Amino acid sequence: MSTVTHEVPESLSSFLAQPKQLLINGQWQDAASGKTFEVINPATEKVVGQVAHGEAADIALAVQAARQAFESGPWRKMTPSERGKMIWKIGDLIEKHNDELAQLETVDNGKPFAVAQVADVPLSADMFRYMAGWCTKIEGNTIPISVPYAPGANFHAFTTREPVGVVGQIIPWNFPLLMAAWKLAPALACGCTIILKPAEQTPLSALRLGELIQEAGIPEGVVNIVTGFGDAGAALAKDDDVDKVAFTGSTEVGKLIVEAAAGNLKKVTLELGGKSPNVIMRDADLSTAIPGAASAIFFNHGQCCCAGSRLYVDEAVFDEVTAGIAEQARSIVVGNGFEADTNMGPLVSKEQYDRVTGFLDRGRTAGATTVCGGTRPEGDGFFVEPTVLVDTDEQMEVIREEIFGPVVAAMPFSDLDDLVARANNTTYGLAAGVWTADVTRAHQIAKAVKAGTVWVNCYNIFDAALPFGGFKQSGWGREMGHAALDNYLETKAVCISV
């Protein structure tokens, strides 16, 4: 285990030294109250910067700016091609500043710099480029109609797709830049204007992205960024001048968003939690299934809504698989994300550390056995060692609740029908994994499992073109792919008597 030594890189110091303000109507400004809050590096527990503490008053200003930009700014007058070029440029600027953005993710979220460099940042750039291409391809239809009570009349009927309007977007801390990209890119492609509320734990990369968005030429008021806490998010979800709210985070807060949105019946999309089943069949190639299942849960320290946290293993290979995953877990180097050999950083915050270790304590009390991990390494930082639990069943909290940490619970199965019922025995439905050499069985399970994404002989494969989202209480709507455009468009039917 490497010890925590690294401080914030010199190259970031000047960015962090400046006061981090809110972006409202193209101007960087302090919160109306003048208040700020601290940003903490979860690997060292040290304060790395101060960020403006936006509240309801700032949300109101940002909504006003977004409304103005939507109704009368240059944004809506631009051609789809002009809009697309600007959005593409955001992707280019993200790519150009890859290392800096990746460093910000490491400082703020704790994830390894090397991972953010190859995953978070390039995926974010791709998302803007993918959506840039859609600007010129958002089309309606012409529709032949046969109105029974208008015999002999002729109509020319068609649909157009229009931006939904002013959009509030509330994002979490697990992939701070990427979640901003998943939200902003499709909304911009559709011609909406936006108020983005980053997570209080990880506001930095969104603020740097705000600067890049300005550099790309996006007009003022189109993207507004208000850093703050849950009350700022709540004000945004409630605001009657917001036409749509898009949220990623806990199912609990997702339900509050739905309630808050009822006031003006704003459109809502939600990307919420998960407790995803990952199934290893006896015929699977264990040399890929074992590291694959380990990565399915340990990637991003288990702080993934789609983490493969419930591992179902055919009883014939259960011992071999759990021993193999424990071996993988023990080989993971937990440490500061700036150290070259680190594979896993800290959890994002003290709150998440307490939450995850609380689940572990209660799980052990309820009878779960820890095969490996489950403890905190020496020293500062919110580190939790990758953990494999066995002796668990579907009644236990560790199987029912989303832990959102590096904790996998393995359970044996013998019967396939029973397995599918157990895999679906959850209020969630975000993702699932299947490892098998039998293509028929892979299709059968992929069809039977109630989840928005099914990975076969792979896990955590993301692409800007592939829709992602939840069945059941994992959410409403889809992100990425052309499905994401539906979140930000209204359909208008026009009927002309000719």
Residue ranges in contact with Mg ion by CB under 5 A? 40, 108, 201
Of 251 and 342, the one with the shorter C-beta distance to ligand NAP is 251
Binding site for ligand NAP (CB under 6 A): 170-174, 197, 199-201, 229-230, 233-234, 237, 248-250, 253, 256-257, 271-273, 305, 355, 402, 404
Residue 345, Ramachandran bin (φ over 0: left; ψ between -120 and 50: alpha; else beta):
beta
Catalytic-role residue among 105, 200, 220, 271: 271
Provide the minimum distance between the beta carbon of 494 and ligand NAP in the complex, in angstroms, as a whole number: 36
Residue 496, strand partner residues = 156
- Binding partner of residue 230 among ligand NAP, Mg ion, none, CB cut-off 5 to 8 Å per kind: ligand NAP
DSSP assignment of 373-416, as one string? --SPPSSSS-----EEEES--TTSHHHHS---SSEEEEEEE--H
Separation between Cα atoms, residue 139 and residue 389, nearest integer Å:
50
Instruction: Check if 495 is active-site.
Output: no
- Binding partner of residue 200 among Mg ion, ligand NAP, none, CB cut-off 5 to 8 Å per kind: ligand NAP
Cβ-closest position to ligand NAP: 233
Catalytic-role residue among 135, 190, 304, 305: 305
Separation between Cα atoms, residue 201 and residue 396, nearest integer Å:
30
8 A C-beta contact, residue 383 and residue 376 = yes
Provide the minimum distance between the beta carbon of 415 and ligand NAP in the complex, in angstroms, as a whole number: 31
- Binding partner of residue 176 among ligand NAP, Mg ion, none, CB cut-off 5 to 8 Å per kind: none
Q: Smallest Cα–Cα separation from 165: which of 87, 242, 263?
A: 242
Of 173 and 299, the one with the shorter C-beta distance to ligand NAP is 173
Pairing of strands 36-41, 46-52: antiparallel
Separation between Cα atoms, residue 480 and residue 488, nearest integer Å:
12
- Binding partner of residue 363 among ligand NAP, Mg ion, none, CB cut-off 5 to 8 Å per kind: none
Provide the minimum distance between the beta carbon of 343 and ligand NAP in the complex, in angstroms, as a whole number: 21
Of 160 and 250, the one with the shorter C-beta distance to ligand NAP is 250
Instruction: Check if 458 is active-site.
Output: no
- Binding partner of residue 108 among Mg ion, ligand NAP, none, CB cut-off 5 to 8 Å per kind: Mg ion
Of 58 and 108, the one with the shorter C-beta distance to Mg ion is 108
Separation between Cα atoms, residue 141 and residue 95, nearest integer Å:
36
DSSP assignment of 438-463, as one string? -HHHHHHHHHHS--SEEEES--S---
Tracing tokens 């985070």 back to the chain, one arrives at 249
Of 355 and 441, the one with the shorter C-beta distance to ligand NAP is 355
What separation in angstroms does the CA of 64 have from each of 68, 71, 185, 239, 261?
Answer: 6, 11, 21, 10, 18
Both tokens assigned to 332: 């993971």
Of 241 and 391, the one with the shorter C-beta distance to ligand NAP is 241
Provide the minimum distance between the beta carbon of 420 and Mg ion in the complex, in angstroms, as a whole number: 40
8 A C-beta contact, residue 240 and residue 263 = yes
Q: Smallest Cα–Cα separation from 110: which of 43, 163, 50, 156?
A: 43
Provide the minimum distance between the beta carbon of 50 and Mg ion in the complex, in angstroms, as a whole number: 12
Pairing of strands 489-497, 155-163: antiparallel
Of 25 and 250, the one with the shorter C-beta distance to ligand NAP is 250
Provide the minimum distance between the beta carbon of 16 and Mg ion in the complex, in angstroms, as a whole number: 12
Provide the minimum distance between the beta carbon of 475 and Mg ion in the complex, in angstroms, as a whole number: 25
Both tokens assigned to 182: 């998943």
List the catalytic residues.
271, 305
